[in-house]
Amino acid sequence: MKRIFSGIQPTGEIHLGNYVGAIRNWVYLTEEYDCIFCVVDYHAITVEYEIDELKKRTLETALILLACGLSPEKCKMFVQSHVREHTELAWIFNCVTPIGELERMTQFKDKSRQHRANINIGLMGYPVLQAADILVYKAGYVPVGEDQVQHVELSREVARKFNAKYGDIFPEPQVILSMAPKILGVDGTNKMSKTLNNYIGLLEDKDSMWEKLRTAVTDVNRVRRKDPGNPEVCNVYTIHRAFSPNETLLEIDKGCRTASIGCIDCKKTLFSNMMAELDPIREKAVSLNNNIDYVIDVLKTGADTCRAIAAETMDEVRKTIGLFM
């Protein structure tokens, strides 16, 4: 079975972008692939964070993954820091990765702007650790949102550089994109993001979800109710595509272009379709919250299984690069 690896940061509330851009696709993919999913806590400490929050967010992120439909029967799930081989391999990869490649990463440039007072080596080396996360399991496929494509390309480059220097050990991983690889935030400008505070959280209070959707930016050229709109440039329509059936999409598309419906009508339909899918997830999250030992157990079992796979790769790597064993 072909192997998949992907991760998610415990940096804040899991939002619609994470869900339709990645997590929902992960659930589908468990039917066909050998899947490994990870809450990447070491990635989360590359920016300022609350020490007491990290632990809580890590567990909450795992809980949401389970609530969204990932199950330990169909995939392995664990916390990155519980498998030390990730950081060990990252160090080795540091030694084959040119600094120039890291400096040109869009996320590094964006995060450096957002965190001017803390541009640390970890922030720059983030994609190297990501390459190690993927390649320590020799995963060939990485399902991510569009923002992560450049990092997966860098993983390919790292694998190539390592293989050229030491011999063919690693595959060059390929990206798998979901059907909604880029969801913008409610500001209609930036990618929906945990840290930009432009998100709609999966477990957020329903009234607050609606309020954020109600006021979300749509086609900026549609100023008055009677102006026709253009769904192609509307982020709300992009979210519709992720939640609404084809007939609804056609109706919305036509209604918007002819101004026979307004943005609020469109958002009401979206909210109803969205909640039909999210309500069971939210209910499952409540029940998992009452059974938190189960979540901890899933993570522990996942880490034990993944540690064994990672240890095998690291034995091979240590031997290959000439470490005294």
Give residues in contact with ligand AQP (CB under 6 A). 7-9, 11, 17-18, 21-22, 144-145, 147-148, 181-183, 191-195
Least Cβ distance, residue 252 to ligand AQP (angstroms):
20
Between residues 9 and 244, which has the closer beta carbon with respect to ligand AQP? 9
Least Cβ distance, residue 50 to ligand AQP (angstroms):
13
Reply yes or no on whether 191 is catalytic: yes
Between residues 196 and 311, which has the closer beta carbon with respect to ligand AQP? 196
Cβ contacts of 308-312, under 8 Å, gap ≥ 24: 309/136, 309/137, 310/83, 310/85, 310/86, 310/89, 310/136, 310/137, 311/85
Reply yes or no on whether 206 is catalytic: no
Q: Are 34 and 5 in contact (CB under 8 A)?
A: no
Least Cβ distance, residue 23 to ligand AQP (angstroms):
7
Least Cβ distance, residue 274 to ligand AQP (angstroms):
15
Q: Are 42 and 219 in contact (CB under 8 A)?
A: no
**Closest residue to bound ligand AQP by CB:** 21
Q: Which residues contact 297 (CB under 8 A, 6 or more apart)?
A: none
Cβ contacts of 102-111, under 8 Å, gap ≥ 24: 102/127, 102/128, 102/154, 105/150, 105/151, 105/154, 106/147, 106/150, 107/147, 107/150, 107/151, 111/46, 111/47
Least Cβ distance, residue 151 to ligand AQP (angstroms):
9
Between residues 138 and 194, which has the closer beta carbon with respect to ligand AQP? 194
What's the one-letter identity of residue 243? F
Least Cβ distance, residue 96 to ligand AQP (angstroms):
24
Between residues 58 and 269, which has the closer beta carbon with respect to ligand AQP? 58
CA atoms within 13 A on the CB side of 39: 30
Q: Are 191 and 110 in contact (CB under 8 A)?
A: no
Residue 37: strand pairing partners: 6, 77
User: 141: closest CA among 225, 33, 249?
Assistant: 33
Reply yes or no on whether 56 is catalytic: no
Residue whose pair of structure tokens reads 């938190």 in the numeric block? 292
Between residues 238 and 289, which has the closer beta carbon with respect to ligand AQP? 238
Point out the catalytic residue in the list 138, 161, 194, 267. Answer: 194
Between residues 15 and 138, which has the closer beta carbon with respect to ligand AQP? 15
Point out the catalytic residue in the list 76, 111, 138, 161. Answer: 111
CA atoms within 13 A on the CB side of 32: 6
- Residues involved in catalysis: 111, 191, 194
